Amino acid sequence: MIQRPPIGVVVACLFPALLSSVLIGAEPVAPGAPLAWQPGEVTQLEGLNVTLSKPVLVGRRRGFLWFPTLVPLAGGELLAIMSNYADEHTSTSTSSVAWSRDGGLSWSPVVEAPYGESHLRLPGGDQLILPYYLRPTEKGVMAAPCTICPKGAQRVVVDPRGVRVSGFPHPDKSFDAKLGLSGFVFNGQTVELKGGRYLATLYGYFENTKRYALVAAESADGHDWKYLATIAGPDCPLKGEEGPSESALCRLRDGRLLCVFRLASHVPFGQSTSSDEGKTWSPAEAMDKVFSVQPSLQVFADSMVALSGGRDGLFLWLNRDGSGRSWQAVDVMKNHNAMLPDEPIKAPGNTSSYTEIVVRDANHLIYIYDRIPRGWQAIPADSPETNSVWVVQATLEPKN
């Protein structure tokens, strides 16, 4: 099974009774102390210096707290969504969420909310958070509730309209028939298509296949989705026993869409491009020294492309020419250990290596990641350890 948080369908807004351990918010700041990013490790790249900040705590918990998603909101706020239960299938899934109004320097108290990770901005500024798991309804249709973060609000509420997905070219194979789950899940980033429609990715199993397939779907309103194309199917020739799955999308400077996707842990990402708004995709290619679990993509105003990921480790990769081809690496885990020697990420399993990046302006991005000292195992009740989620700011300075 792919190591990531399984997200079930949820029908309520908050689930405080399900928390088995205390949530702890960000570290308190002394009254009157100015908030500023503290500089950390500097990486010299070709034509560019990258300074990572000292990590800032988003939240910590003795229970599970991992697989973070970072959502930029319409008013400039950031929303962090963090899975807070074991990596196993479930019909009801929750998350711990927090908001930042100052670009990640400080965070609201952590509260519980439904889980979702793929998201899109609605015309009025509300943020629609798509469900992860879907359930079969009528023949050939998958559906689930979804949630909304209203513009300017620090809350997540259930949207009664939900989402539905139709038009798949082949029958699917359920992730867990006993739980009534469909065989495809929403995962990864969305992009806006020309004309105002949305493009999202789903991955899962077609009937009678053993590897994942990665597909694209489009929607006019974020609620009613239709299959558009298979980006990479179970017959994808690239290395990776799982097959094409977790993905990220962005639009390159030449107008093409770039999709980067996972094939398994510890193997290179795959990539494919589309020149016709997602209707067809180029043959999948393996990326060089860029790996391995759920990627995140962002594009700067000058067309430079940023990519995050890892396993092993935590990395930020930068493509300066905007082609999505050649990448230079920044070691985020090295920065964490140098700046937080009392809370090191000692081994590959001390982080899920699930990350997300958000561009803030022409020279800064925010990078979110987790630290899990016991890995996929629960922290014992008598242990002082905690799981935690952190952000760093990356400052990019072109060399003269």
Q: What is the 3-state secondary structure (H, E, C) of 280-306?
A: CCCCCEEEEEEECCCCEEEECCCCCEE
CA atoms within 13 A on the CB side of 388: 21
Residue 315 has pLDDT above 60, yes or no: yes
Q: What confidence category does residue 90 fall into, taking pLDDT thresholds of 50, 70 and 90?
A: confident
pLDDT band at 147 (very low <50, low <70, confident <90, very high): very high
- Could you read off the pLDDT of 233-277 as tens digits, one per residue? 999 999 999 999 999 999 999 999 999 999 999 999 999 999 999
Contact yes or no for 82/390 (Cβ under 8 A): no
pLDDT confidence of residue 400: 79
Mean pLDDT of 27-49: 81
Please write down the HEC assignment for all residues of 119-174: EEECCCCCEEECCCCCEECCCCEEEEEEEEECCCCCCCEEEEEEEEEECCCCCECC
Query: What is the DSSP secondary-structure string of 250-272?
Result: EE-TTS-EEEEE--STTSEEEEE
Output the pLDDT for position 89. 85
Tens of pLDDT along 155-199? 999 998 999 999 999 999 999 999 999 999 999 999 999 999 999
Tell whether the torsion through CA atoms of 21, 22, 24 and 30 is positive or negative. negative
Percent of the chain residues topping a pLDDT of 70: 92
Which residue blocks in 167-233 are alpha helix, DSSP H?
Answer: none
Average pLDDT, the chain: 92
Q: Which residue has the higher pLDDT, 114 or 104?
A: 104
**pLDDT-derived band of residue 8, with 50, 70 and 90 as boundaries?**
very low
Query: pLDDT: is 24 or 305 the higher one?
Result: 305
- Residue 370, judged by CB atoms within 10 A of its CB (0-12, 13-18, 19+), counts as buried
d(CA 55, CA 203): 32
Q: Measured between alpha carbons, how far is residue 168 from residues 230, 314, 338, 343, 361 in Å?
A: 9, 35, 48, 46, 38
CB 149 within 8 A of CB 79: yes
Residue-wise pLDDT for 196-220, tens only, equals: 999 999 999 999 999 999 999 999 9
pLDDT value of position 114: 87
